Amino acid sequence: MSARENILKRLRERTDGPLTAPLSDFGVVSGRGWSAEERIERFERLITSVHGEVVHTTHGAWTTSLADVLMAKNIQRLALGREHPVAAEARAGLVEGEVTLIDADRDVEEWQQEQFASTDAGLTSTRGGIAETGSLWLWPTPDEPRLISLVPPIHIAVLDADTLEDTFFDVVEAHGWAGGMPTNALLISGPSKTADIEQTLAYGVHGPRELVVLVRHTEEPS
């Protein structure tokens, strides 16, 4: 009998009966009750506190805001998908611009050198955001592989304001993560950062040095 089997046997044969899981009260991780305005305010405050940038825009004008960001940051080469509505709208909005659009839905070996050496930024959609931690959550797909949010020096993410939820637990529960989720779900709470033994933060060492979140509102934000 292996050590593992011995341990399990002893647990099953406890003199005071088998172990049972305690009742869980998820109230401590849910039930914040924030309004839509409070969620936006909290999300922005937290993600900008770690060098993330937030640009407020509308569904009708977001590609213009995207073009402004690209110009301000001198982005010449942008990686993005083709099938997702966010990618399709971005391509249509930038068709007359001078930015080179790089197809991201290719085998990584096909454009690995290009991705690491000459891509200025990656554009992705998001599934939503978490107000409590100032985080985005993404489910990468073949059209929007995770590397376009992890490799280029700048990550531009498009977040719909009405997809913000209070807590991580609320996201897991509302979207049925327990019943199925991808192997590469991503939680992003700012640009890449790391610290040495003296706790000096450095940005962009293991991923994007900048994160820009375009928050799309149904109406012009007040």
Given the candidates 3.40.50.620, 3.40.50.10420, 3.40.640.10, 3.40.50.1820, the CATH classification of the domain at 35-217 is: 3.40.50.10420
Q: Model pTM?
A: 0.85
| Residue 18 confidence (pLDDT) | 67
| Residue 125 confidence (pLDDT) | 97
Alpha-helix residue ranges (DSSP H) falling in 52-123: 62-72, 85-93, 108-117
Residue 186, classed as helix, strand or coil, is strand
| Interval 100-117: pLDDT, tens | 999 999 998 888 889 889
| Interval 70-81: pLDDT, tens | 999 999 999 999
| Residue 120 confidence (pLDDT) | 96
| Residue 16 confidence (pLDDT) | 73
> How do the domains of the chain map onto residue ranges?
35-217
Residues in the chain predicted with pLDDT less than 50, given as ranges, are: none
